[in-house]
Amino acid sequence: MDVWKTMFAGGFCPDKYLYHYTSIDSAIKIICSDKLLLSPISKTNDTSEAKMKLVFDAPPEMGDTEFQEKTEKIKDYFKKHQPHIRIMCLSMDVPISQDDYEEAFAAMTHKMRFFDFMGRGFALPRMWAQYARDNTGICFVLDKEKLLTRVERLFPIHMKDSVKYKNFFESYRITPDHMEELSERIDMGGNGTLTLMSMLQNNRDFLEFNFFTKLNDWANEHEFRIIALTDYEDSTVYVDRLSTYLCGIVVGEKIDPNYEKIIALLLQESNITCDIKKIYFESNCCRIK
């Protein structure tokens, strides 16, 4: 029953679940295939975040032509191998400070503390509007620990973390020594992903600036992100065994009732056992039934 606790009912753990919003068509495919896909970062709906954020410090002894050639070589390398990096975007329960928690708790009636689900990761109005087709889709509730354990087994090189939101993007600064090192590795590695692998394994700042930072415009998504380095840029990349980390399904307030029945039948046919709840946004609270 922890899956369906409110944030104010007592004993709620805000770091236990992750949430994936999607349309009903995609939800049916996910249930039937028993897997969640990872997509190229170039397919995210924020086009600015798909572009590498690099700034180069020019060595004092290097001429302008040589500097431009090396920087362009490094940029072209990352652009070429970017499809090898796949991304899964999820939502989290809304983080809340102790002061805000106490203020909200005091303002609620005793009953509402157990029935108002505002702040839960499956009760984010913007996500229902934007990713679940205006409340007609569904939200998968996922066990965070079990999902990440599966990711670790499938992808030796990966990173997972919550997204940081900022007013402006920051750039990853490449020093003259680092530029020389990258240039040499690219020349030695040819078309391989060795240099990219090194960046993903050893340069956390590079990852944070380029893959775990978004503008404040997107802050209401409360995003948790999984990044994985894959071998083939054109292949379908996924995390399988959804049924082992699926904790529940929330259907949208405006979903077609026939689709509710279809989702229940698909779960039954796939031998997946989990609760199905329907969300309702009221004037002053959010309920599920």
Tokens 């001429």 map to which residue?
63
Strand, coil or helix: 248: strand
- Write the CB contacts of 169 (distance below 8 Å, at least 6 apart in sequence): 48, 49, 53, 209, 213, 215
Share of residues in the chain with pLDDT > 90 (%)? 56
Looking at per-residue pLDDT, the higher value among 172 and 27 belongs to 27
- pTM value is 0.91
Whether 278 has a pLDDT exceeding 90, the answer reads yes
Q: What is the mean pLDDT of the chain?
A: 89
In the prediction, which pLDDT does 186 show? 82
Looking at per-residue pLDDT, the higher value among 174 and 258 belongs to 258
Looking at per-residue pLDDT, the higher value among 229 and 131 belongs to 131
Show the beta-strand stretches assigned E in the chain.
Answer: 17-22, 35-40, 54-56, 85-91, 138-143, 158-162, 164-166, 172-174, 213-215, 223-229, 237-240, 246-251, 275-281, 286-288
In the prediction, which pLDDT does 19 show? 98
Share of residues in the chain with pLDDT > 70 (%)? 94
Whether 179 has a pLDDT exceeding 80, the answer reads yes
The average pLDDT across 190-209 equals 70
In the prediction, which pLDDT does 105 show? 86
In the prediction, which pLDDT does 201 show? 67
Whether 217 has a pLDDT exceeding 60, the answer reads yes
Which range has the worst mean pLDDT, 11-25, 51-65, 126-140? 51-65
Whether 197 has a pLDDT exceeding 80, the answer reads no
Tokens 């599966």 map to which residue?
150
Cα 107 off chain centre by: 32
pLDDT digits (tens, 9 = 90+) for 219-267: 999 999 999 888 766 678 999 999 999 999 999 999 999 999 999 999 9
- Residues listed for the chain: 289
Whether 36 has a pLDDT exceeding 80, the answer reads yes
In the prediction, which pLDDT does 190 show? 58
Whether 194 has a pLDDT exceeding 70, the answer reads no
Looking at per-residue pLDDT, the higher value among 202 and 102 belongs to 102
In the prediction, which pLDDT does 193 show? 64
- Local confidence band at 61 (pLDDT 50, 70, 90 cut-offs): confident
Contact 8, 22 (CB under 8 A): no
